[in-house]
Amino acid sequence: MSETDGVVEVAPVPVSEAAQPQTKKRRASENGLHALQKNGSMEKDKNVDDSYFASYSDIELHRTMIEDSVRTNAYQQAIFQNMEEHIRNKVVVDVGCGTGILSMFCAQAGAKKVYAIDASKIAVHAKQLIEANGYSNIITVLQGKAEEVELPEKVDVIVSEWMGYMLLYETMLPSVLYVRDKWLKPGGKMYPERAVLHMALGEAQWITKYEEGTYDFWVSLNHVYNLDMSLLADHAVARYKDVVHVHMVAQEDVLSFPTSICDLDLTTITPEDLRTISRPFSLYSMGSRQLNSIVLWFDVWFPGGLKLSTSPDNEDTHWQNTVLPLATVPLQQDTKVEGELTITQDLTNHRFLNVDLTYRVDKGEEVTRCFKMDDNCNDNDF
Amino acid sequence: MSETDGVVEVAPVPVSEAAQPQTKKRRASENGLHALQKNGSMEKDKNVDDSYFASYSDIELHRTMIEDSVRTNAYQQAIFQNMEEHIRNKVVVDVGCGTGILSMFCAQAGAKKVYAIDASKIAVHAKQLIEANGYSNIITVLQGKAEEVELPEKVDVIVSEWMGYMLLYETMLPSVLYVRDKWLKPGGKMYPERAVLHMALGEAQWITKYEEGTYDFWVSLNHVYNLDMSLLADHAVARYKDVVHVHMVAQEDVLSFPTSICDLDLTTITPEDLRTISRPFSLYSMGSRQLNSIVLWFDVWFPGGLKLSTSPDNEDTHWQNTVLPLATVPLQQDTKVEGELTITQDLTNHRFLNVDLTYRVDKGEEVTRCFKMDDNCNDNDF
């Protein structure tokens, strides 16, 4: 395998100049998270984590995140708006610092000290960038897992961009909470400090389009090659509808007001609270439309009230929206769709999620669907 | 992991109705080929193969192949053009039959018997399709590895679409040759029967564009966030140029006449011949251009002379072209670029390839580049 295997230092150490920059391209969607199931649980988690951190050594992933101006501007504004109160002359830890951009925002905002932690090899580049920008005296880069890093002091602020698709995918939040419980001073600040996951009814046009295109293609072979391949259309559509999709949803494709699935106070929530998140819901359709999906998105808030939103109502972000495809059902105005959504950490791969949905349209039969949210879920990889 | 793990039947058996259709989406680019290096070699190859065959259970992959009309039409035409001489009343084996489309072409062309072999779960669907089209009396689907299938008789013809990116990626050809040596009657026919890999000098515009866009992005952060992130541009470009890219190349971006790297007579070549393919080359630039790549593509020929070409001069195919990025060098008209290209099977993953290139522009220094061709290589996954 590639040199990215050795990316995780077991004993976290300040990044030295001598560290090898990585030269092998890897991508988030190819993080080798399969094929690990025969190992013991500890070894398995280690392999999963090694692959996970290796994926973050890919510079293109960091470009995607920084290029997302909704995301990057929200952090910058939150840090700068509160600089006098929370940042100036304070000690900050940046959990999963990546290229170090948030740490450098804190340095610009007058932080006395910033500890920038990342388990990925990107930490090597973070250190170079911090030097190039003249912040080496303020920011110390520590390459290691957040749970294993030893800091020389307690901190006033935790800054972290830990959110994954559908808020919780990647399961990075428990690492941030670990750092909070170990290193944050009483009354210290969390950036962000609150996170809400929303759901609504959807008629995703691209699901309809995929379905139609798939039937058209497989049926067309009868004319082109005189072969009936139409059986495969059902199979292809079933597979497409069987997985969680990360995809943009247009504002007009949201069919109901949203309801929240969880509202996390990040100053008090525990990792145990995150293992299973379950909430009954009742949603009412606006207008007469074709229900074909559940749409999910999240908002997070920073101290002072600044909100970073990934809602279909807002500008696009790299998180896009999350979509659970359903069998298509026509809805009348104000049709009630009720049920329960449950999100649990996958036991085989702790960075994956299981999404279980039961729902009933009006007085219809109760339907149960189980989706796995793994590294197949980003439609951009199609 | 998913139910696709059990896709390979060790003892090849005719596909029964009782077989479970797969419901879990997997894709070729996510075939879990990493993280296997700690196993022994046999176990390792088995895991690699399991993942490889699992990827072919994905219906979208089969759509991509069938939708490639250059590919599908070439096979159809080759089979139909030679139907009287090679196919009618003959026994055919289709190695890696997928959905069974080539087997059904042979049935349409009057084959007496077709054995359709595939180790992937797609074999279940092939059987259903063959029944739906009324060819069950002619075509027998065998789910199993080509090396392990027992046929009740020798065959007159081998039909197989075994070609991968850059012809040899995936390393499926040795399986076809194994079937040839074990099951093909003396003088039997191979479809295709000849394969040639070509190379030429290139100025891939998308490499230039990527390079410019990457510098623009990382430098722009100085204006947007008052941070110097330009160090990362070099790193991003170096990583981009460090891997083999599968990408379309425009005809006008080919800077030289091609030369062939190998010319395989598929009736006589052995698996051992394929382990290392190495050929010195001399190429001369047409016009004054910026050399930034080596471009590769392949042609295969069927009995009777019909050619399936993936050349930049021809219609696009799903194989696209293969590109080895080089440092950009300005070339004058007729500048000589000479060197040697070596393609070897990767020892860690026998379906990956190592591509080693040494070259010298005019009287310049000799440059050596080593590329790994793994499942990161398809730019469509970006």
Per-residue model confidence (pLDDT) at position A163: 97
Answer yes or no: do B171 and B312 share one domain.
no
Determine the distance in angstroms separating the CA of A236 from the nearest CA of chain B, rounded to an integer: 6
**Total domains, chain A:** 2
Return the residue matching tokens 């009777």: B304
Residue A287 token pair: 């207008």
pLDDT (average), residues A266-280: 96
Residue B68 lies in a domain: yes
For residue A243, pLDDT beyond 60: yes
Determine the distance in angstroms separating the CA of A207 from the nearest CA of chain B, rounded to an integer: 15
Cα(B273)–Cα(B232) distance, rounded to whole angstroms?
A: 42
B22 vs B211, higher pLDDT: B211
Answer yes or no: do A30 and A67 share one domain.
yes
Give B1's pLDDT tier (boundaries 50, 70, 90): very low
Per-residue model confidence (pLDDT) at position B54: 65
Per-residue model confidence (pLDDT) at position B348: 84
CA-based nearest residue in chain A for residue B376? A26
Q: Which of A4, A115, A125, A117 is nearest to A53 (CA)?
A: A4
Residue B4 lies in a domain: no
Residue A268 lies in a domain: yes
Residue B309 token pair: 């070409």
Residue B268 lies in a domain: yes
Answer yes or no: do B118 and B254 share one domain.
no
Answer yes or no: do B367 and B225 share one domain.
yes
CATH code for position A346: 2.70.160.11
List, for residues B183-225, the tens digit of each pLDDT value.
999 999 999 999 999 999 999 999 999 999 999 999 999 999 9
- Interface residue B225 vs chain A (CB under 8 A): yes
- Interface residue B28 vs chain A (CB under 8 A): no
Per-residue model confidence (pLDDT) at position A14: 57
Cβ-based contacts of A61 with chain B (< 8 Å): none
Per-residue model confidence (pLDDT) at position B175: 97
Task: Point out the least confidently predicted range of A308-322, B23-37, B76-90, B305-319.
Answer: B23-37
Residue A2 lies in a domain: no
Cα(B195)–Cα(B307) distance, rounded to whole angstroms?
A: 10
Task: Point out the least confidently predicted range of A37-41, A189-193, B284-288.
Answer: A37-41
List, for residues A217-239, the tens digit of each pLDDT value.
999 999 999 999 999 999 999 98
Distance of CA A260 to the CA centre of its chain: 17
Answer yes or no: do B352 and B207 share one domain.
yes
Per-residue model confidence (pLDDT) at position B26: 27
CA-based nearest residue in chain B for residue A349? B1
Give B82's pLDDT tier (boundaries 50, 70, 90): very high
Beta bridge partners of A308: A300
Dihedral sign (CA A167, A172, A178, A180): negative
CB contact under 8 A, A63 and B24: no
| Of residues A132, A229, A230, nearest to B231 (C-beta) | A132
- Interface residue B215 vs chain A (CB under 8 A): no
CA-based nearest residue in chain B for residue A25? B239
Count of pairs with CB atoms under 8 A, one residue in A, one in B: 160
Residue B2 lies in a domain: no
Give B2's pLDDT tier (boundaries 50, 70, 90): very low
For residue A32, pLDDT beyond 80: no
Residue A1 lies in a domain: no
CA dihedral A376, A377, A378, A382 (to 10 degrees): 50
Answer yes or no: do B32 and B158 share one domain.
yes
- Is A85 among the residues known to form the active site? no
Which domain, by its residues, includes A121? Answer: 9-191
- Interface residue A101 vs chain B (CB under 8 A): yes
Per-residue model confidence (pLDDT) at position B381: 35
Cα(A212)–Cα(A216) distance, rounded to whole angstroms?
A: 6
Question: In one letter, which amino acid is B138?
Answer: I
Per-residue model confidence (pLDDT) at position A327: 95
CB contact under 8 A, B35 and A37: no
Per-residue model confidence (pLDDT) at position B377: 65
Question: In one letter, which amino acid is B307?
Answer: K
Give B41's pLDDT tier (boundaries 50, 70, 90): low
Q: Of B191, B212, B247, which residue sits at a domain end?
A: B191
Give B40's pLDDT tier (boundaries 50, 70, 90): very low
Q: Of A191, A207, A229, which residue sits at a domain end?
A: A191
For residue A103, pLDDT beyond 90: yes
Answer yes or no: do B137 and B275 share one domain.
no
Residue B326 lies in a domain: yes
Is the pTM here over 0.90, yes or no?
no
pLDDT (average), residues B6-31: 34
CB contact under 8 A, B239 and A376: no
Answer yes or no: do A302 and A362 share one domain.
yes
CA-based nearest residue in chain B for residue A107? B227
CATH code for position B31: 3.40.50.150
Cβ-based contacts of A104 with chain B (< 8 Å): 227
Return the residue matching tokens 């690990």: A36
Answer yes or no: do A95 and A168 share one domain.
yes
Give B171's pLDDT tier (boundaries 50, 70, 90): confident
List, for residues B322-339, the tens digit of each pLDDT value.
999 999 999 999 999 999
- Interface residue B376 vs chain A (CB under 8 A): yes
For residue B28, pLDDT beyond 90: no
Give B55's pLDDT tier (boundaries 50, 70, 90): low
List, for residues B86-143, the tens digit of each pLDDT value.
999 999 999 999 999 999 999 999 999 999 999 999 999 999 999 999 999 999 999 9
For residue B44, pLDDT beyond 80: no
Q: What is the value of ipTM here, to two decimals? A: 0.84
b or e along B141-157 (b: 16 or more beta carbons within 10 Å of the residue's beta carbon)?
A: bbbbbbeebebeeebbb
A49 vs B370, higher pLDDT: B370
Task: Point out the least confidently predicted range of A246-250, A302-306, B348-352.
Answer: B348-352
Q: Of A191, A214, A237, which residue sits at a domain end?
A: A191
Answer yes or no: do B120 and B248 share one domain.
no
- Is A211 among the residues known to form the active site? no
pLDDT (average), residues B27-49: 43
Determine the distance in angstroms separating the CA of A381 from the nearest CA of chain B, rounded to an integer: 5
Cβ-based contacts of B31 with chain A (< 8 Å): 34
Answer yes or no: do B179 and B217 share one domain.
no
CB contact under 8 A, A101 and B225: yes
A4 vs A56, higher pLDDT: A56
Determine the distance in angstroms separating the CA of B327 from the nearest CA of chain A, rounded to an integer: 15
Residue A162 token pair: 């830990």
Per-residue model confidence (pLDDT) at position B206: 93
For residue A17, pLDDT beyond 60: no
Give B9's pLDDT tier (boundaries 50, 70, 90): very low
| The 3-state secondary structure of chain B, one letter per residue | CCHHHHHCCCCCEECCCCCCCCCCCCCHHHCCCCCCCCCCHHHHHHHHHHHHHHHCCCHHHHHHHHHCHHHHHHHHHHHHHCHHHHHCCCEEEEECCCCCHHHHHHHHCCCCEEEEEECCCHHHHHHHHHHHCCCCCCEEEEECCCCCCCCCCCEEEEEECCCECCECCCCCHHHHHHHHHHHEEEEEEEECCEEEEEEEEECCHHHHHHHHHHHHHHHHHHHHHCCCCCHHHHHHHHHHCCCCEEECCCHHHECCCCEEEEEEECCCCCHHHHHEEEEEEEEECCCCEEEEEEEEEEEEECCCCCEEECCCCCCCCCCCEEEEEEEEEEECCCCEEEEEEEEEECCCCCCCEEEEEEEEECCCCCEEEEEEECCCCEHHHC
| Of residues A104, A133, A229, nearest to B129 (C-beta) | A229
Cα(B138)–Cα(B130) distance, rounded to whole angstroms?
A: 9
Per-residue model confidence (pLDDT) at position A347: 85
CB contact under 8 A, A1 and B348: yes
Catalytic residue among A3, A43, A161, A252: A161
Task: Point out the least confidently predicted range of A262-266, A312-316, A348-352, B282-286.
Answer: A348-352
List, for residues A144-180, the tens digit of each pLDDT value.
999 999 999 999 999 999 999 999 998 899 999 999 9
Per the prediction, chain B carries an average pLDDT of 87
Answer yes or no: do A32 and A97 share one domain.
yes
